Structure 1
């Protein structure tokens, strides 16, 4: 093993998203700690490619054209052989399958996989068989939450000894640098003056369950008539959600802003952050709200209770219960003292339990331990 281990991260894509942003923070930290880091992405537009390069990483686009692409697989094997990596670390379903198999063919000494979610298809054929095969080639598996760890052990044959939870972490620095002037500028994109602003940042997909949020907001408006809802993000559900807002006669009280990059300013601008996800492997977006001291209303499912402390840093509700979501949001808007207290508690919880340096050090130690064991 070299003094500066070379690590290839293989991920399905590096367009903007939770797992992708997490990887960017991780690789930035690993690069600064002396690891020679490359990221290979299999598909997508590579929206974050320049960010990865700025973080000190090499970036390789593989460009698979289908779920099973022999040419793309061959390109990945060639990339691994040519650079003689010490370790391959895989992410997301296609990254796991292509990465673990290509690393095995190329004779890489160590293979690690991060598990970012708890997808139902892990239990469905042929995905279960393919997933199990990729796990059989993997030395260590790093779920991002205890919920994902439990789900992994329930749905696969992997040994618990191979599994170590490494929870996400973020740096709050960019959230601390937000000025009041910037916050007010962002608020004016949605509301005037002191109008209560509820916000969410999410991909507009079935998983995020934004239909429930819209239905809940119709009831919020009955209790807090001047409240406004900001939905930040893009996705295949956008047109349907806009039609739903019109059906419930709240289209004037809801702004669909599309994709935005000013997340720290947005999180400070929201009075309440709300997201009724059907499942989450972790939910980095909740940490972002906590970094801005914004109280959270979220679903009591999957890993979310590991992140959001119910009654302390936010309020958790059954994911499909629009009445309870409406009550939770309205309560926080109507009692700003509670909202402020929960926001402060959220930031304290973030600083205490979800620091990015902790995450990076844990992964770096796992790399060194795994490579050391392979060299014995």
Structure 2
């Protein structure tokens, strides 16, 4: 086979979540290096399916119809692996990891196709995912590599019984051309949302989920009437909000919303590994405020504030301190944060780290990382 062999990714779905965003970014960066990309989604549709197809990724929906449909999906995946002979079969999230492992095993566990798993969180809701986590932990010797997007995430899974043959931490990669300061877009979005051009705006980008702890965010917001809060994420439109907050629901243009804001906030109580929302906000020049969950300190460096989780008073104090800076002070701090993201957490750097981890774990026919 001439040229690099493809990477085959298996993911639970292609909605607008953090893992899906990173999958798109990684595929784009690897395609730019001439490496073909194949994505298998275990659910139909999703906004990122046409995005990937538009990049030139071969997208396959192999959605099992209930438990009885699982064997057929695994068989179809095994056939795809045998036909495409990928250099790597990379799982994403627990369902993607499990199906990748079963499909790889049914395909004969070809040594020429490295099986890799992908961990994207630093804790879980055990009531929802505990059984699946336990299954994956028991099978964690199957993959030749387990990749976590955070040190906190890897440590958590080791504590839950994961025993990988090889593990690597590869931080998320942000599209800094997409997320960037844009004064004209800032003015247009503020006008569109009915926000004054001189307003200080804090953006919270997260779906409605217990781990995101919207209750702490809203309790903090209620004590900061001088700050305008924007909540972006599926389900937020159903929340009861203080007068200084508005919910936008799910948006497919987060870069446009980020351009209008000044502060990026993460109020997560648990579960975050590497927060895309924080890093994307920093790339857009926003000053970040985050709870001390996952790798938040690593992402922020010295360019924002980290506070205890589930502490509305501490969160409000940090947001208020940044809101009361002069505009020039916030802009300088935001510019330094953007430089950090460009240097340490850009998509090209993520692609290079994946290539290095795959290569060190035995994957063949891949270009050398830059």
Both proteins in one fold, TM over 0.5: yes
1:140-219 correspondence to structure 2 within 5 Å? 140-159=145-164, 162-176=166-180, 179-188=182-191, 189-219=193-223
How far off its partner does 1:133 sit? 3.5
- The 1:350/1:67 distance shift into structure 2, 3 A limit, reads farther
How far off its partner does 1:36 sit? 2.1
The CA deviation string for residues 42-71 of structure 1, in whole angstroms up to 9 with x for no partner, is 015321111112222100001123367223
SS at match of 2:139: helix
- The 1:260/1:126 distance shift into structure 2, 3 A limit, reads closer
Question: Which of 108, 111, 115 is the aligned partner of 1:111?
Answer: 115
Give the number of the structure whose residues are more often helix, by fraction: 1
1:1-376 correspondence to structure 2 within 5 Å? 3-66=3-66, 69-107=70-108, 108-109=110-111, 110-120=114-124, 126-159=131-164, 162-176=166-180, 179-188=182-191, 189-221=193-225, 224=226, 227-235=227-235, 238-239=237-238, 241-242=239-240, 245=241, 250=242, 252-279=243-270, 280-309=272-301, 312-336=302-326, 337-369=328-360, 370-372=362-364
Q: Number of paired residues?
A: 356
SS at match of 1:164: strand
- The 1:325/1:231 distance shift into structure 2, 3 A limit, reads same
- The 1:67/1:198 distance shift into structure 2, 3 A limit, reads farther
SS at match of 1:135: coil
The CA deviation string for residues 268-290 of structure 1, in whole angstroms up to 9 with x for no partner, is 21121212012311111111111
- The 1:308/1:364 distance shift into structure 2, 3 A limit, reads same
* Coordinate RMSD, CA, aligned: 2.3
How far off its partner does 1:342 sit? 2.5
Task: Name the TM-score, length of structure 2 as normaliser.
Answer: 0.89
Structure 1 residues not aligned, in runs of 5+: none
Counterpart CA distance in 2 for 1:150 and 1:51 is 33
Task: Name the TM-score, length of structure 1 as normaliser.
Answer: 0.88
- Asked whether the equivalents of residues 62 and 77 of structure 2 are also in contact (C-alpha less than 8 Å), the reply is yes
Counterpart CA distance in 2 for 1:21 and 1:163 is 22
- Asked whether the equivalents of residues 190 and 230 of structure 1 are also in contact (C-alpha less than 8 Å), the reply is no
How far off its partner does 1:76 sit? 2.1
- Asked whether the equivalents of residues 4 and 34 of structure 2 are also in contact (C-alpha less than 8 Å), the reply is yes
SS at match of 1:175: coil
How far off its partner does 1:95 sit? 0.3
How far off its partner does 1:34 sit? 2.3
Counterpart CA distance in 1 for 2:268 and 2:78 is 37
How far off its partner does 1:333 sit? 1.1
Structure 2 residues not aligned, in runs of 5+: 366-370
Counterpart CA distance in 1 for 2:322 and 2:297 is 18
Counterpart CA distance in 2 for 1:175 and 1:16 is 16
SS at match of 1:38: strand
Counterpart CA distance in 2 for 1:269 and 1:97 is 40
- Asked whether the equivalents of residues 172 and 274 of structure 2 are also in contact (C-alpha less than 8 Å), the reply is yes
* Bigger Cα displacement from structure 2, 210-219 vs 41-50: 41-50
